[in-house]
Amino acid sequence: MVKSQTVDSPPKIARIKQKVLYCSTTTGRMKGGGGTKKRRGRKKGKKKTLKTKTETQTDLIKPHPESSSDHLSKTIPLLISATSAAHSFLLRHDLHLSPSQSLSLESLLSSTSRSISHLLSLLSLPTPSIPPPPPPPQRNWFDCFLASSPDYDPRWVQFFNLSKPSFTLLLRLLSPSLTSSLHPLPANAALAATLFRLSHAASFSSVSRRFALDSPTACRAFYSVCKAIVENLGHLFELNSDINRIIVGFGWMSLPNCCGALGIEKFDLEGDLVGKNGSLLVQAMVDSEGRFLDVSAGWPGCTKPENVLKRSKLYYGIENLKEYLNGPSFELNGGNSIPQYVLGDSCYPLLPWLLTPFSKKNEELSSSEMAFNEVHSRGMELVGTAFMKLKKRWKLVGKKWKEQCIEAFPFVIVACCLLHNFLIKCSEVLPEENVKSCRDNEFPLFDGEENESGKGIRDALASHLSRFGACAGGGRATVGILALCCCEEARVWWCLLGLMGSVSGVLNFPAVATGWLVFQTDFCGGWWFGGARMVDGTSWVWWVLGVGDRGFG
């Protein structure tokens, strides 16, 4: 008796299949859900064995050990030969492939080789003769690249995420530290190997093959270069050294006397060694151009953001040592003054120097509170965008790290932040596409008490922004007119001359510059063209020339 069984069938199909449950080979009757029925036209005494469809299919696919073994013994050598040929192609044409292509092919070949070895061990087949590997190249991949690449070869950016002039400058800054710690390995090879691993999340074995190094040497070179970056480029965290530039930059965003935007980001880890979330927290402050001003890395993912803040060197330097944010206050037009401050995410507490957004529901916000939140949001986007650029440019910190590497992970993140600043200094800006901050706020809102002094400063700034307009459109401004001559019917040119001091933070023009600045803005339906000259750290002398409401046309 053979029964056919249905697993996970839809109800209708199951009912149909239940009508033929089995075939009897002794009584000549079909048994099922519809009763019994005698077969006609069959002579008594003759029996016929019936097979179900399932049984027939089982016979067709029944394995035949001898034929399977013969088939595999013929197929596996072909697979080995194809794998060897692909590996030979990779060695000879690596320079002509993009890093993503070569690393992907390398990973697939490695996985294929392991699968073939595992299959041979399971089937107990004799190991076929494997073709000898191609002869190693006379020079390693990096030497071949140096010999074939001119100064402005775009492959420098493709392979190492920076141009050759920037690579040369970085090498000159790091060479004293690298020459002594990595002898006899050339400093340029160590730096290139590190940048390649950071840029493409390449394994040490991949780096070893390209730079003719063994894996331990590649590992030692990587961490030596990261250490040299932290030791020699630390001055690129410019919170104290370039505070006037930082304040002017945020002034163009309608944020007078602002010294940075502070946020926090998660970096993924495998396992749950540092908590259920499997991540490390990195707190960072950035300026209006996306430079990192301060970085505190390595906090377990389960740590509350306010605890990260209070245990950071930034907090200690502001609250205890008074090293930061100790400059003069900014006088607002309403008679109030605001000290130097930092924008903070909503997961942080409100402090006199850390201004967080108003946390009421949108319908409960006043016009001044809405104006502040809008400008605050644009400021906080700088932090998210900086982190997104960091993970996009240096893919190694954007992937999950293994638990055994947890001690080195924060160190590598700080090194990447300094490289990020270095490339901004070199005017090597990552294209904006696909790097805009689109992350949701994963951290809960701070639910503690708000500092009264901080509330007063935030209210004064919100009132100031509401009075003068936050310029949320990014580049539009409303200012007082000192002289205006207009004949709208004739559409003659308008002329406006003006002088305004201490307008930093009131106007929001799209460009940030020192010295003379040319800007364009639409005002009263017309087009205005003009320039501005910085008199001191916060005051500008500006002039404007405008045309009719239809422009030149």
The residue that leads in pLDDT, 431 or 353, is 353
Domains in the chain: boundaries: 2-38, 65-123, 141-232, 247-461, 472-546
pLDDT, tens only, 273-332: 766 667 899 999 999 999 999 999 999 988 999 999 999 999 999 999 999 999 999 998
pLDDT digits (tens, 9 = 90+) for 440-475: 557 889 988 899 999 999 999 999 998 865 443 343
> Which helix (H) or strand (E) covers residue 544, if one does?
strand 540-546
**SS3 for 107?**
helix
Are 167 and 142 in contact, with CB atoms under 8 Å apart?
no
Reported confidence tier of residue 381, pLDDT bands at 50, 70, 90:
very high
> What is the pLDDT, as a whole number, of residue 442?
75
Q: What is the pLDDT of residue 469?
A: 59
Mean pLDDT, the chain, rounded, equals 74
pLDDT bracket for residue 412 (50, 70, 90): very high
Question: In this predicted structure, what is the pLDDT of residue 119?
Answer: 67
A 10 A CB-CB count for 98 gives: 12
Which of the two residues, 454 and 212, has the higher pLDDT score?
Answer: 454
Of 150, 138, 155, nearest to 95 by C-alpha is 155
244 vs 489, higher pLDDT = 244
Contact 454, 354 (CB under 8 A): yes
Q: Residue 531: is it exposed, middle or buried by C-beta count within 10 angstroms (0-12/13-18/19+)?
A: middle
The whole-number pLDDT of residue 100 equals: 64
User: What pLDDT, on a 0 to 100 scale, did the predictor assign at position 420?
Assistant: 98
pLDDT at 75: 72
**pLDDT-based confidence at 360, cuts 50/70/90?**
confident
- Distance (Å, whole) CA 471 – CA 464: 12
Task: Report the DSSP beta bridge partners of residue 518.
Answer: 531
**pTM summary value:** 0.68
- pLDDT recorded at residue 439: 57
Euclidean distance between the first and final Cα of the chain, in Å?
A: 93
List of residues 6+ apart from 232 with CB closer than 8 A: 173, 174, 176, 177
